[in-house]
């Protein structure tokens, strides 16, 4: 079993998310997290899926998803060539006497305190999943009242795998500042 992150560009159609989720459930593929949001082009939605399986399954996932009519592009976001970020909102129980300790920890992880009440602090933390996990481990000495994690969004580094959309809605690969030449 290994983990893989896929980036999908899909037409922003009704039910596209349910078709993708349905494909995963009926074929028994795992979804560890899925995030979706519209791109700079409102016709297109970018979806980041974290999934796991053996090599054969992961290959099938890529091929089966690619077959769905709404899918424009699917490719793996390889860890060494990509950045991933996840947002976590963490509500920690902390009265006045405990606040400093939590704030210090939060600062180390570059978290922001976005809400304070007499009994609790609400921390906003971003980072790759490993960093969030590490932060949560360190917070385990405190009582976490509520936790909301978004699942990761990711992009490839550099301009190597940038997918563009032209006026007609056709996608093309962007290489060295130019559309990829057709051959």
Partner 1 sequence: MIKRVLNGADALVRSLEEENVEYVFGYPGVAICPFFNSILNSDIKTVLVRQEQCAAHAASGYTRVSGKPGVVAVTSGPGATNLITGIATAFADSIPLVCITGQVDSRLMGSDVFQEADISGACESFVKFSYIVRQASDIPRIVKEAFHIASTGRKGPVLIDIPHDVQMDRVSGFAYPVSVNLRTYKPTVEGHPVQIKRVMRELARARRPIICVGGGVHLSDAAEEVRKFAEAHDIPVVSTMMGLSAFPTDHPLFYGMVGNNGQKYGNRAMNEADMIIMVGARVADRSISQPDLITENKVLAHIDVDPAEIGKNAGPSIPLVGDIKHIFREFNERDLEVDYSDWLDWLDGCKDDVLNAESKKRAEIQEEHILQGRKNYVDPRIFIRKLSLKMDKDAVYVADVGQNQIWSCANAVMRRGRFLTSGGMGTMGYAVPAAMGAKISSPDRQVVAVCGEGGFQMTMQELATIVQYEVPVKIVVLRNNVLGMVRQHQHFVYHDRFSVTDLSTVPDLDKLSEAYHIGYLRLETNEGMNECLDAFLKEDKTMLLEVMIDPDDLC
User: Which positions touch partner 1 (CB under 8 A)?
Assistant: 22, 25-29
Smallest separation (angstroms) from partner 1 to the CB of 66 = 16
Smallest separation, CB 17 to partner 1 (Å):
15
Is residue 151 within 8 Å of 86, Cβ to Cβ? yes
d(CA 144, CA 148): 11
In 12-159, where do the E strands start and end?
Answer: 33-38, 44-53, 71-76, 82-93, 112-116, 120-127, 143-149, 153-156
Encoded tokens for 90: 């963490």
CB of 26 to partner 1, least distance (A): 4
How many CB atoms neighbour CB 35 within 10 A?
16
Q: Which is nearer to partner 1, 6 or 29 (CB)?
A: 29
Nearer Cβ to partner 1 (67/137): 67
Nearer to partner 1, 57 or 77 (CB): 57
Q: CB of 90: closest distance to partner 1 in angstroms?
A: 26
SS3 for 96? helix
A 10 A CB-CB count for 52 gives 15
Judged by CB, which is closer to partner 1: 9, or 65? 65
Nearer to partner 1, 13 or 25 (CB): 25
Distance in Å, CB of 70 to partner 1, minimum: 17
């Amino acid at each position: 079993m290994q983990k893989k992150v896929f980036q999908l560009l899909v037409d922003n159609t009704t039910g596209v998310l349910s078709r993708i989720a349905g494909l995963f459930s009926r074929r028994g593929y795992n979804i560890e997290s899925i995030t979706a949001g519209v791109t700079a082009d409102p016709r297109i939605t970018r979806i980041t899926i974290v999934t796991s399986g053996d090599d054969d399954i992961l290959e099938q996932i890529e091929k089966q998803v690619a077959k769905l009519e709404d899918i424009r592009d699917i490719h793996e976001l390889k860890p060494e060539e990509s950045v991933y970020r996840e947002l976590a909102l963490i509500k920690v129980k902390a009265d006045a006497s405990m606040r400093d300790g939590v704030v210090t920890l939060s600062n180390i992880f570059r978290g922001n305190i976005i809400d304070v009440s007499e009994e609790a602090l609400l921390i906003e933390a971003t980072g790759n999943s490993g960093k969030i996990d590490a932060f949560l481990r360190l917070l385990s000495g405190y009582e976490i009242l509520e936790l909301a994690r978004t699942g990761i969004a990711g992009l490839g580094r550099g301009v190597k795998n940038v997918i563009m959309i032209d006026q007609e809605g056709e996608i093309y690969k962007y290489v060295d500042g130019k559309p990829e030449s057709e051959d």
